[in-house]
A and B are shown apart, each in its own frame.
Chain A
Amino acid sequence: MTEDPDRPGIVLTEQQKRSRRGRSIALAIVLVLLVVLFYVVTLVKGPGVLNRPI
């Protein structure tokens, strides 16, 4: 996608775009890992995972 210099707003530099992309990818990886973690633990603990005494 090319930037339109006449477009209003802030135009990010290449470095800013790179760091934002890096943060987005890291966040996506963390979210996927979190889903996998909860999925696997649910399998390990069985259907009674939420049925626990406090």
Chain B
Amino acid sequence: MTLANDGVKIDEAGTTPQISLASPRDFFDLMKPRVMSLVVFTALVGIVAAPGTIHPVIGCAALLCIAVGAGASGALNMWYDADIDAVMERTTERPIPAGRVTPGEALGFGLVLSVFSTMTLGVLVNWLAASLLGFTIFFYAVIYTMWLKRWTAQNIVIGGAAGAFPPVIGWAAATGGIGIEAVLMFLIIFFWTPPHFWALSLVRSNDYARAGVPMLPVVSGTAETRRQILIYAAVLAPLGVSPWLAGYTGLLYGAVSLFTGAVFLALALRLWRANDATMEAPAWKLFFYSILYLFVVFAAWLVEALLGLGGAGPGGVAAWFGGGAA
């Protein structure tokens, strides 16, 4: 394929012009805006919860770079997975399989945004945050998308790390370092990811099987997937409370994370008890609730940080034993 006349593409025969009809909206869709919104939110919590102060303009610049970096990795993911997206019901309307954007356009878009977001974050904020952002894009686009996704049923377990990095990047942007609180935020998202995606893949397993993606329900069956969801939920629920237990957050966060974690576990338990015929409703319920869970838990942390209620307050178990964060 060659380029001529202001980006007009001409096929190998040199006869049929293929002129891009992509709109700005299509390029925006390449950035997976819904995923990007969660990334921005968790990164915001990382920035606000971090000790010290960051100038609002620098904080906004950091958020923008993180958002664009997340969008870049989404575009690279859509470029590489265009063949899978074309056969999966859930993704056939994405810009590349729908024919609105060519794979080459998506690749160029993703690469340019990757470089720009990382370099801009480094120049405007700091290079630790930029390095973490660059690594996250690489991890999602290469380690997860190109390697793990089509190779192992543990794809989203390991690949989940990419989605867990934004609060750490936010923390690094605000402080120039990485704190234990940021690591806890990472771990919460890391252990949240498998039950979130497996709940979806339980009801979409035929889609994944048709596309040849070895998601856990396709490879190990639905019963094993429900068991794994329950295990991860059993780890996630106490892990969600751990920032309060360790004295890094206050009572508000402790109460919210305790309640929402218990509901998460109860929904996972209900899904585990279901069978193939009855699992669809509890799987959908857990999938949508998991989104709410992550939002509410991080929102509680954000509110505490904004109101100055966080830190080693009297609610922290560590404080009861005479410890707690400084």
**Cβ–Cβ contact A44 & B57, under 8 A:** yes
Q: Does A54 contact B (CB under 8 A)?
A: yes
**Cβ–Cβ contact B58 & A41, under 8 A:** yes
**Bound-complex Cα distance A20 to B20 (A):** 8
**Bound-complex Cα distance A44 to B311 (A):** 29
Of residues B6, B20, B58, B124, which shows the largest number of chain A Cβ atoms within 10 Å of its Cβ? B124
**Bound-complex Cα distance A44 to B64 (A):** 16
Q: Does A19 contact B (CB under 8 A)?
A: yes
Which residues of A in the span 10-44 have a Cβ within 8 Å of any Cβ on B? 10, 12-13, 15-16, 19-20, 22-23, 25-26, 37-38, 40-41, 44
**Bound-complex Cα distance A9 to B8 (A):** 10
**Cβ–Cβ contact A37 & B61, under 8 A:** yes
Which of the four size classes fits the interface of chain B?
Answer: 20 to 34
Residue of chain B at shortest CB distance from A17 = B19
**Cβ–Cβ contact B23 & A10, under 8 A:** no
**Cβ–Cβ contact B5 & A10, under 8 A:** yes
**Cβ–Cβ contact B21 & A16, under 8 A:** yes
**Cβ–Cβ contact A41 & B57, under 8 A:** yes
The one of A23, A41, A44 that contacts B22, using a Cβ cutoff of 8 Å:
A23
Q: Does B27 contact A (CB under 8 A)?
A: yes
**Chain A residues positioned under 8 Å from B120 (CB to CB):** 37
Q: Does B104 contact A (CB under 8 A)?
A: no
**Chain A residues positioned under 8 Å from B20 (CB to CB):** 16, 19-20, 23
Q: Does B259 contact A (CB under 8 A)?
A: no
**Chain A residues positioned under 8 Å from B19 (CB to CB):** 10, 12-13, 16
Q: Does B323 contact A (CB under 8 A)?
A: no
User: Could you tell me which A residues sit within 8 Å of B by CB distance?
Assistant: 9-10, 12-13, 15-16, 19-20, 22-23, 25-26, 37-38, 40-41, 44-45, 54
Question: What would 6 more interface pairs be, CB under 8 Å, given A16-B20, A44-B57?
Answer: A9-B5, A20-B20, A22-B24, A23-B22, A37-B124, A40-B57
User: Could you tell me which B residues sit within 8 Å of A by CB distance?
Assistant: 4-8, 17, 19-24, 27, 55, 57-58, 61, 64, 120, 124, 127
In the assembled complex, 9 residue pairs joining A and B whose CB atoms fall closer than 8 Å, in A order, are A10-B4, A10-B19, A12-B8, A12-B19, A15-B21, A19-B22, A19-B23, A23-B27, A41-B58
Closest 10 pairs (CB-CB, A-B) = A26-B24, A44-B57, A16-B19, A19-B21, A10-B17, A41-B124, A22-B23, A10-B8, A19-B23, A22-B24
